[in-house]
Every structure is written in C-alpha cells, then in structure tokens.
C-alpha cells in the first residue's frame, strides 16, 4: 500500500505550477489547483496531470465553493496561495486601487472555510505596506491577515526572505507568511541559509549563443558568422538553450555594453530612437547582468532587452582593436530555468510559445525556495 503524503495541497493563483515543481519529490501531493487564465491552467494540467484543476475566477462565489468542496473531498491540509503582485510590485504601477490587491481576501475566505493545518502565502515585500478595503474599512494587508487568521494560526516571526540565501542564483526578495494551525504545536520558520551561487557558478560554463536577428537570416550570418555552430553546441545542452530573437539595433548597443553595465551609459552606442534621439531609460534597463552575483529578480518581460537587467553578462573580446562583448541578448529560456531553480527536465508543454514560457516563469517564485521552506516543515511533522 502506498504511503500517504504528509501534506495534501491546494494551490491558489497557481499560474503554471512553478512553485510546485519539486513538491511531489519531497512527499507533497498538490491535489487541487485554481488558476484564472485558461491557457495557464492548461499548461499546469499538462505538467501536473494528477492535480484537479479548477479554472476560473476565485472572486466568483460558485467557483470558490467548487474549490472548497473539491479540497474537502481530497482532505487537503495545506494551502499555498500566491496572489498576483502586479498591483504592488515596484516594477509595476504600484496602484493602491489595483483590484488584484484585493484578491488576498478571497484566499483568506478559502482558508477560513477549509481550516487547513498549514498555509503558505507568498507575495512581494510591498504587501507589508499595501492597504485593502474590507467591509468598507481600509487596512494594511498584514493587519488584515493577522486579524482574521491570528486566532487559529501562528505566523512565522520573520516573513522577508531572499531566494539567493538558499543557493538559488537569483536575488528575488519576497514576503512569505508561514502559518501553522495552533492545535499542531509546531514552529515553522525559514531554514538556515546556504551559500550564495553566482551567475558564473550557474551559467558560466554554458556554450555561447548569438541572437537571431529580426532583420533576417542573412543579416544574422553577416554579423555572427558562427551563429549556426554556436546554435548547434547550445542545442546539444538543451533544446531550450536556443537563440533569442532581437533587432540588430539593440544587439549592437549590447555588443558595446560591458558586463554589469547599462547601454544608456555608452558614449556612442547608446539606446536611441529612429530619429537619433537618445532614449530616456532607467539605469537598470538595457543592462547586462553581473557574473559575480546572483541574477537580479526576473520579470515577466525577461525576453526584452530594454526590460530590467535581463541581458547576459557577456565576456570581452577584441575586433580590430575595439572591445566588444559576447552574448548580446537576453538569457535563453534554459538560463532562465536555471536562475529560477526549475528542474532542468521540467516538462514544458510543446505547444507553449516563448513569450508565454518567459512570462509565467518570470512571474513565478523560484521553485527551490518553496522546496526548502516546505522541507523545513516536513522535518517537524
């Protein structure tokens, strides 16, 4: 007879299951999940066929009741809730009236109706200073959570955590509440930190990849004569270590941009509009990452050179006395998987396009961070 998992889980705001990637192997069965967007729900279901996916809007009372009923039927004792952060994120608009900020209310409703033994609630750290309206009263989200759930649950003493503190090659700072139902008499805190892993450690030995230029194949070969050789060497590592597609203008700017620097500081090859006007940009846009630190936090736009700090660190080389830098491109999907600590054999559906893959991984919490946090709980049960 198969051993029953210690944790039987429900995933709210499940995205495509980035957070769940290692849970099965450590003895956690995620039995029910809810995701609003059908395309993401389909992605999740392809990766986790044994999970019962409830697709739809959690603010809908009938759908939320369906989630609760299914979770009761499966005897769920663990809830993981990762509400959208775009309304609170510093890389978003930080709109205090963004309706997505209110979604935590519906997660709490599910928690109160199920009363699971353990709960994990994850979001950006600005959740600590974000207010929502509950019954016409405005209050800070932490005040709301502890006010409503504090009678039945013990919260962890420190809720801020960095992925880089657990040997994950991405800085990503998050706020994670760990809740234990009081009758369990267990303390659930973050585990002891482990050594930092830099980008050099994580991706420094991978084959170089030249970008495919949107300007055409002939133009690509004219600028990158070794394109096909590098592409083949990269494909031998993984089908996901493939050339990103960029316009030559942006690639040329990045070829002249040193490691850990932004093209906006280049004296000649700086970002400019088609009329030659200098582009006004944040100092972390058009920026190459650094080799000697973990990757900066990924965003959903990690496939766009002009986004925040998502360009490969590169290495210097000289042509006719001019110093240029290799890999003038964003990280490949394979490199994105590595810095997000996803299993490298994670079964990404074949039908998913590159934009979707990058977006869902960029929005997801690094998989191994959830693994080590949940393992800490399992060691106490």
The active-site residue out of 76, 85, 168, 250 is 85
DSSP string, 194-256: B----HHHHHTTSPP-PPEETT-HHHHHHH-TTHHHHHHHHHHH-TTS---EE-HHHHHHHHT
CA neighbor of 317 nearest in space, from 259, 380, 237: 259
CA 35, distance to chain mean position in Å, is 16
Cα gap 125→107, rounded to integer Å: 18
Kindly tell me the burial class for residue 177, based on how many C-beta atoms sit within 10 Å of its own C-beta (0-12, 13-18, 19 or more).
buried
Q: What is the largest CA-CA distance in the chain?
A: 72
Beta-bridge partners for 29:
8
Question: In degrees rounded to 5, what are phi and psi of residue 317?
Answer: -150, 165
| Among 87, 90, 79, residue whose Cα is nearest residue 32 | 79
Question: Tokens 């030659």 — which residue?
Answer: 276
85 is an active site residue: yes
The DSSP-derived string for 163-203 is GGGBT-SB--EEEEEEEEEGGG-----PPPPB----HHHHH
Do 129 and 140 touch, CB atoms closer than 8 A? yes
CB 76 within 8 A of CB 55: no
Q: Phi and psi (nearest 5°) for 114?
A: -100, -30
Distance of alpha carbon 337 from alpha carbon 261, whole angstroms: 23
Give buried/exposed letters for 146-157 (b at 16+ CB in 10 A, else e).
Answer: eebbeeebbbbe
C-beta separation of 20 from 32 below 8 A: no
Which residue numbers are catalytic? 85
């Amino acid at each position: 007879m198969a051993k029953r998992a210690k944790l039987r889980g429900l995933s709210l705001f499940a995205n495509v299951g980035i957070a769940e990637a290692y849970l099965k192997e450590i003895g956690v069965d995620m039995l029910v999940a809810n995701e609003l967007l059908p395309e993401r729900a389909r992605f999740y279901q392809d990766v986790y066929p044994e999970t019962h996916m409830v697709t739809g809007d959690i603010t809908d009372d009938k759908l939320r009741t369906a989630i609760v009923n299914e979770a009761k039927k499966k005897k769920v004792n663990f809830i993981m809730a990762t509400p959208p952060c775009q309304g609170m994120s510093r890389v978003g608009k930080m709109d205090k009236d963004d309706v997505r900020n209110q979604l935590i209310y519906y997660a709490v409703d599910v928690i109160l109706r199920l009363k699971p033994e353990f709960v994990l609630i994850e979001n950006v750290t600005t959740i600590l200073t974000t207010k929502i309206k509950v019954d016409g009263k405005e209050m800070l989200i932490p005040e709301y959570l502890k006010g409503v759930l504090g009678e039945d649950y013990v919260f962890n003493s420190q809720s801020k955590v960095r992925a880089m503190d657990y040997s994950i090659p991405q800085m990503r700072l998050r706020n994670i509440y760990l809740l234990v139902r009081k009758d369990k008499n267990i303390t659930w805190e973050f585990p002891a930190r482990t050594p930092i892993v830099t980008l050099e450690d994580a991706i420094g030995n991978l084959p170089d990849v030249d970008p495919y230029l949107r300007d055409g194949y002939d133009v690509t070969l004219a600028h990158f004569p070794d394109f096909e050789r590098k592409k083949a060497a990269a494909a031998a590592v993984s089908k996901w270590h493939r050339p990103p597609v960029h316009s030559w203008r942006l690639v040329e700017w990045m070829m002249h941009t040193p490691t850990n620097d932004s093209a906006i500081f280049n004296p000649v090859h700086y970002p400019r509009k088609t009329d030659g006007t200098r582009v006004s940009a944040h100092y972390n846009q058009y920026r190459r990452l650094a080799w000697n630190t973990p990757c900066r936090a990924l965003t959903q736009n990690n496939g766009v050179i002009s986004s925040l700090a998502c360009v490969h660190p590169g290495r210097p080389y000289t042509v006719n006395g001019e110093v240029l830098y290799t890999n003038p491109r964003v990280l490949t999907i394979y490199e994105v998987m590595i810095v997000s600590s996803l299993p490298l054999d994670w079964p990404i559906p074949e039908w998913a396009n590159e934009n979707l893959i990058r977006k869902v991984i960029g929005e997801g919490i690094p998989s191994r961070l959830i693994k080590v946090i949940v393992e800490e709980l399992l060691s106490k049960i």
